[in-house]
Amino acid sequence: MSDDGLFPERIETERLRLERLCRENLPPLELYEHANADAPSIDEVTRYVTWDPHRTPKESRDFLVRMEEAWDDGEAAAYVIRSKEDDAAGEFVGTGGLTLDWDRRSAELGVWLRKEFWGRGYSGERAGALMEVAFDRLDLELVAVSHHVENRKSRRAIERYVEAHGGRLDGTFRNFLAFADGEVADVDRYTVTREQWREKTR
């Protein structure tokens, strides 16, 4: 884990490399290749997230610029996720990060992964690394994560890593998720406190 600035620029786990989500580490055209409307399995990837497939390379560029600004402002730490495994070394897996709420001393986990990398446990590995950042580096008190109530795959993954870090299901939050087309949806929300995390990791 690099130690420059508020957030680490680079995080290494056993199978993943997380680097600051910016144009230098993820060129807009590479993001567009995997986030556009014709990308493989993009309908499944975006079914339960609040963003739509990118219509142009400029949309991918604008997204990266927003992530750079949020990082510089201390509002979010977003990362490009790449695999270190032999069968996919260096490949773009997806993006993930922490959205900060400093007043509440908390952060929300977020992630999206290309479908070919589903089922490998990458989401949990990334979550564990980002919880370490939240609790040990940023001195936050709570990490939360939510999923659309109908997203069973995310539910299974989240339940596994939340339980592994001592957290719990807080409940169902009604009309919590807002989509670009005006649709709203319920989410199940989970939290891990710093004390629960330390009890499990120390």
Residue with tokens 């999923």: 147
- Domain boundaries along the sequence of the chain: 10-201
Residue 30 makes CB contacts below 8 A (sequence gap 6+) with: 92
Kindly report, residue by residue over 116-136, the tens digit of the pLDDT. 999 999 999 999 999 999 999
Kindly report, residue by residue over 23-69, the tens digit of the pLDDT. 999 999 999 999 999 999 999 999 999 899 999 999 999 999 999 99
Residue 187's DSSP bridge partners are 148, 173
Q: Which residues of 78-115 are buried (b: 16+ CB within 10 A; e: fewer)?
A: bbbbbbeeeeeeeebbbbbbbebeeeeebbbbbbbbbe
* CATH architecture designation of domain 10-201: 3-Layer(aba) Sandwich (3.40)
Q: For 166-195, what is the mean pLDDT?
A: 94
